[in-house]
Amino acid sequence: MDIKRKSSTLSLIALTCSTLLFGCGSDGKDGEDGKDGVIGVNIDSTATLSANITKAMVADGLVTINFDLTNANGVSVLGLTKDHDLRFGVAQLTRISETMGESEADRGFHWQAYINAEKAPNPDWIPEGESHIKPSNQYQANVEKAADCDECFLDNGDGSYAYTYQVNIAEVTTPLAITYNADSTQRATLELELPQVTANAFLDWQPSSDTSEGIQTRDVVAIEACYTCHQVESLALHGGRRIAIENCASCHTSTSGDPESGNSVEFTYMIHAIHKGKDRMTSTADGMVPAPYKIIGYGGGIHDYGKVMYPQGPAADCSTCHVEGEGAPANADLFKADLSNTACIGCHTEKPSQNHSSTNCMGCHNSTDTYPGTGSAEKRHLDVMKAYNDAGAMAVEFSNIGLSSDGKIKFDLRILDADGAAIAGEFINQSTRVIVAWDSDKDYPAYNDASYSNRRIRLSEGTYDENLKIFTITGNNFDMPVDADGKTFELWSAVEVCFNKGGYGVAEVVMTECSDNTRSIEVKDKPYHFVWSETGMDPDSQAAMRRSIIDTAKCQGCHNQEVFHYDNGVNCQTCHTSDKTTKSDDTYPGGKKPTSFAYKAHGAEGHYLKYAGVQSGTVLKTDCMTCHTDDGIKLGRASERVWRFGHKVTGSDIWVSSDAGTCLTCHQKYLSDAGASHITTNGGILDGTSEEDVRTRASEACSTCHTPEQIMSLHGN
């Protein structure tokens, strides 16, 4: 079962006949003890709720289920009625075939909902001028409401209940004919939404054997994989009442569509199309063009998933969602079965290239009867991932760190394979770079002293020793800091190694001599930190570490191996410093927006889907712990830091004090006069004319009141 607790938590009230939670006597005769009452909590007062379907039966096509309600302590929840927001669904797992030309192709087992309706587009909900929609009549699976039947619901009075479905599953002929088979797996679903809490439950069983053990399943992805990127509350959909992935899968069937857009909402198609985001493209005679997946839905609100900025990359990494191994769903490897064209076109669209004349992807991309030179979907996706996996096993070696004759930083670099052997230069993309920084334990070099564009050095700007396979790099475009001694320096590699592209006719993806026909992948290695002393590295000093702010593993849990550029982990702040120059943007107040890493993480569209992007709450930006460490939102730790922003009217540079700037990365657009007054009254600077001006005047006291706990509370955590 799945449980969702609402934000307006109520007190847990145990309904008892005495103050000690004992049942009191009832119906007793004089001198005799009555029957013990039921110990439980009232459904309208419980703050936690769990539903469990214990049994399901079919008699003459009518399904009856028994279910229990309990709270988090296992205490029975009493008082459920049919008039609560209580709904039930029922579906059958059926083997499906598809006619492809003159033959029938096996498409495996799919859920078929017994409760369906045919719906025409609502003309009032169709936005004018919207692309990539074709309004048309669509079937939609649904659930039935307990409130619509006076005799279906039964309260046993002890926290257990029964419900007999209104639909007769043996007599479903319209709008879709579903043939009930007692040997097939059936799924009963429950959804119960209260003002303060929601619960979902499901049960799979085989009527002919009256068992849930050893039966056919379609259990592919666990919702815990979704929670890598999504917060639990953010996946409470359809008004908040649907929170279990099993309930979603048995309702979003292959026959289900959105009438206003004309697009399929079949579960595998919908999920793949959504997560392909801005990268979903289709082939035309004029080349590849965007093919955003759009849904309109009830009320006419357009959901344009082409605005999903940076979803999982590479998208070919099926293991991100399809997690196998111990504890995995029973059918976690189903994506390797070569059965679904639907999943393919969800990502690749119906026309992935001009070489494809049909959507029968499995006709060629399979393991048993593959068209020469193609390979199965598993192979083609693993071909993409092999380059990333091989590059991930490589390492970057820095040595001979010192100064050139004219006082510029100079160092040697080698790229090592998984066995520690140096990789030759012809396999290394020499247009890729190494970034140099100092004060990496604080907030990196001041932008005015050394901009990131000058601190990044291409391999091609250095020299290469073919025999030793060593690049010698010199930082000619910036000066060393005058107070370098004792500073922690950082060398961060964005160096890439070349691989063949895989695809048609390619037997194996391997490291390949770089050319216009290869792709290059970043070598994954941590930044190299060291302490500077006079003319080079001090081997006896321990490099200082930056304060704990974000957990980069959390970032990569969502983004995987591709974030935007320089995809060697998440080290964006080495370039996107707090004082980096602003960027022109006509949509931003004043026409200039900040470019710091904090701004990009807090305010850019890709992370701000609820308001600035796809208008979806499925990624909740207000959950600080999505990205931050446990100690990552503590104020007052970096008083020397200064932020650069654009003035909200003129766009000219203004300088902002440390803690205030952190808040403004999100809130500058919406900052009121009262809010600004509060900041300045407590020592913050919002109108600095220079970095030194801010450091001279700032005396922030934000951390006195704004503890991490208080900040999280303000943001809805």
For residues 517 and 622, membership in a common domain is answered with no
Encoding tokens for residue 549?
């702010």
Q: How far, CA to CA in Å, does 263 sit from each of 114, 270, 296, 345?
A: 21, 9, 9, 12
Domain for residue 13, yes or no?
Answer: no
Q: How far apart are CA 115 and CA 261, in angstroms?
A: 22
Q: At CB < 8 A and 24+ separation, what contacts does 543-549 make?
A: 543/441, 543/488, 543/489, 544/441, 544/488, 545/441, 546/440, 546/441, 546/442, 547/631, 547/637, 547/638, 548/629, 548/630, 548/631, 548/632, 549/628, 549/629, 549/632
Average pLDDT over residues 593-605: 86
Q: How far apart are CA 292 and CA 263, in angstroms?
A: 11
For residues 406 and 266, membership in a common domain is answered with no
For residues 317 and 351, membership in a common domain is answered with yes
Q: According to the model, what pLDDT value does residue 26 have? A: 45
| pLDDT tens per residue across span 98-142 | 887 777 888 899 999 999 999 999 999 999 889 999 999 999 999
**Count of all residues that appear for the chain in the document:** 717
| pLDDT tens per residue across span 619-652 | 655 578 888 998 899 999 999 999 999 999 999 9
Domain for residue 382, yes or no?
Answer: no
Domain for residue 706, yes or no?
Answer: yes
| pLDDT tens per residue across span 366-393 | 888 777 778 888 888 998 899 999 999 9
Q: According to the model, what pLDDT value does residue 617 have? A: 58
Encoding tokens for residue 137?
């009549």
Q: Which of 322-326, 342-346, 362-366, 542-546 has the lowest mean pLDDT?
A: 362-366
Domain termination site, one of 503, 530, 547: 547
Rounded to 5 degrees, φ, ψ at 58 are -125, 125
14-15 β-sheet, strand order:
14-15, 40-42, 77-78
Average pLDDT over residues 5-29: 39
pLDDT-derived band at 191, boundaries 50, 70, 90: very high
For residues 351 and 464, membership in a common domain is answered with no
239 contact partners, CB below 8 Å, separation of at least 6:
193
For residues 274 and 399, membership in a common domain is answered with no
Beta bridge partners of 646: 653
pLDDT at position 246 over 80: yes
pLDDT at position 7 over 70: no
Q: Which of 82-91, 225-234, 528-537 has the lowest mean pLDDT?
A: 225-234
Q: According to the model, what pLDDT value does residue 558 have? A: 83
For residues 128 and 181, membership in a common domain is answered with yes
Q: Which of 27-41, 455-469, 492-506 has the highest mean pLDDT?
A: 455-469
Average pLDDT over residues 201-229: 95
Encoding tokens for residue 654?
């203004």
User: Closest Cα to residue 117, out of 87, 140, 88?
Assistant: 140
Q: How many CB atoms lie within 10 A of CB 181?
A: 16
Domain that holds residue 700: 578-715
For residues 365 and 458, membership in a common domain is answered with no
For residues 587 and 526, membership in a common domain is answered with no
Encoding tokens for residue 180?
């009930």
Domain termination site, one of 311, 337, 371: 371
409-416 β-sheet, strand order:
395-403, 409-416, 470-474, 463-465
User: Closest Cα to residue 330, out of 217, 445, 479?
Assistant: 217
Domain for residue 320, yes or no?
Answer: yes
Q: Which of 89-93, 262-266, 349-353 has the lowest mean pLDDT?
A: 349-353
Q: How far apart are CA 432 and CA 434, in angstroms?
A: 7
- Per the CB < 8 A criterion, the answer to whether 503 and 383 are in contact is yes
Domain termination site, one of 319, 337, 371: 371
pLDDT averaged over every residue in the chain: 90
189 sits in which H/E element: strand 186-193
Domain for residue 567, yes or no?
Answer: no
For residues 292 and 424, membership in a common domain is answered with no
DSSP 7-23: SSPPPP-EE-SSTTSPP
| pLDDT tens per residue across span 424-434 | 999 999 999 99
How do strand 77-78 and strand 40-42 relate by DSSP bridges?
parallel
Encoding tokens for residue 363?
């006709």
Rounded to 5 degrees, φ, ψ at 362 are -70, -15
Where do we find the tokens 């879709």? 176
More confident residue, 130 or 312: 130
Domain for residue 28, yes or no?
Answer: no
| pLDDT tens per residue across span 249-260 | 999 999 999 999
Instruction: Report the number of distinct structural domains present in the chain.
Output: 3
Cis peptide bond upstream of 314, omega within 30: yes
User: Closest Cα to residue 528, out of 401, 625, 668?
Assistant: 401
CA 669, 671, 676, 679 dihedral sign is negative
Domain for residue 96, yes or no?
Answer: yes
Q: According to the model, what pLDDT value does residue 32 have? A: 61
Q: According to the model, what pLDDT value does residue 19 have? A: 34
For residues 469 and 400, membership in a common domain is answered with yes
Q: According to the model, what pLDDT value does residue 358 have? A: 80
Encoding tokens for residue 273?
């199309």
Share of residues in the chain with pLDDT > 70 (%): 92
Domain for residue 624, yes or no?
Answer: yes
In this prediction the pTM is 0.86
For residues 196 and 94, membership in a common domain is answered with yes
Q: According to the model, what pLDDT value does residue 609 have? A: 57
For residues 228 and 315, membership in a common domain is answered with yes
pLDDT at position 31 over 70: no
